[in-house]
A and B are shown apart, each in its own frame.
Chain A
Amino acid sequence: MNRTYELMFIVRPDMAEEDQDKLLSTLEAAVSSSGGQVKNVDRSMGKRRLAYTVRKFNDGIYVLLTVEGSGGMVRELERRLRVTEPVIKFLTVRIDEDQKRIDKIKAIRDAKRKASVASAPAATPEPAGETPAVTA
């Protein structure tokens, strides 16, 4: 019940802001009703030129939705997206396994860095961030 998915979909470029919000709230309702959780809604990609023509559109508004839940929930979300007319394309990717791998690599790297810092008393400037005594 803790699978994390990334759902990216493209909406037709002439869709109004409020309709987009309505669509998002419908999706969020579907997520919570099937026991999931919306982690993040990212609309920073916004309107972009598509690499090829999709349903006669050359631009589209990209929306990225990060959710946590089960596979059944994703099936329901995709069904809704398929039915929604303004949505012209979608892609669901499972990201929890990948995230685990990345965290493991980062943990190993941080452990290595801490080990090297411990042996040499001079603190590395990077992880320390702002050191008050450092002058430019």
Chain B
Amino acid sequence: MAEETRPTASPTAEGGAERAERRGPRPYGQGGPGASRDAGAGRKFFRRKKVCKFCTEKIDSFNYKDVRLLAQFVAESGKIVPRRLTGVCTPHQRRLSAAIKQARNIALLPFAGRAS
């Protein structure tokens, strides 16, 4: 009976709550990728495991001069994109962020693009 009623579009309180729970953030934070529970990250659990672009392509080094490479990790507003969106690993993200800040200082990247 429960299975029969589920596929019908009747918004039973049970079915709605289930679906909301699955979709929205969990009240007690599950560890790992669900940890950041704010908008955009709490959807499904793993969100197609993103890999670090630098680790997979074995890019040894990069510096502030590689504007085209750095610009991929900068939003339109000029902000540095957080690593949970780009999938970069921590050591690379740290180096990337330092390089972006150097590039900003030497006017290769803007501090702020259009208003965010």
Contact surface of A with B, Cβ cutoff 8 Å: 8, 10, 50-52, 54, 60, 64, 89-91, 93, 95, 98, 101-102, 105-106
Q: Which of B60, B61, B64, B107 contacts A89 (CB 8 A)?
A: B107
Asked if B97 lies at the interface with its beta carbon under 8 angstroms from chain A, I say no
Q: Closest 3 interchain pairs by CB?
A: A51-B110, A50-B107, A91-B106
Q: Which of B61, B63, B102, B104 contacts A51 (CB 8 A)?
A: B104
Contact surface of B with A, Cβ cutoff 8 Å: 60-61, 63-65, 102, 104-111
- Residues of A near B60 (CB, < 8 A) are 102, 105-106
Output the nearest chain A residue to B113 by Cβ-Cβ distance: A51
Tell me whether A52 and B64 are in contact in the complex, defined as CB-CB below 8 angstroms, given that A91-B102, A91-B105, A93-B102 are known contacts: no
- Residues of B near A52 (CB, < 8 A) are 107, 110-111
Q: Which DSSP category, helix, strand, loop or mixed, fits chain B's interface?
A: loop
- Residues of A near B106 (CB, < 8 A) are 8, 10, 89-91
Output the nearest chain A residue to B112 by Cβ-Cβ distance: A52
How near does chain B come to A111, taking the closest CB pair, in angstroms?
A: 15
- Residues of A near B107 (CB, < 8 A) are 10, 50-52, 54, 60, 89
Contact B63 A93 (CB under 8 A): yes
Contact B108 A51 (CB under 8 A): yes
- Residues of A near B64 (CB, < 8 A) are 91, 93
- Residues of B near A50 (CB, < 8 A) are 107
Contact A51 B105 (CB under 8 A): no
How near does chain A come to B5, taking the closest CB pair, in angstroms?
A: 59
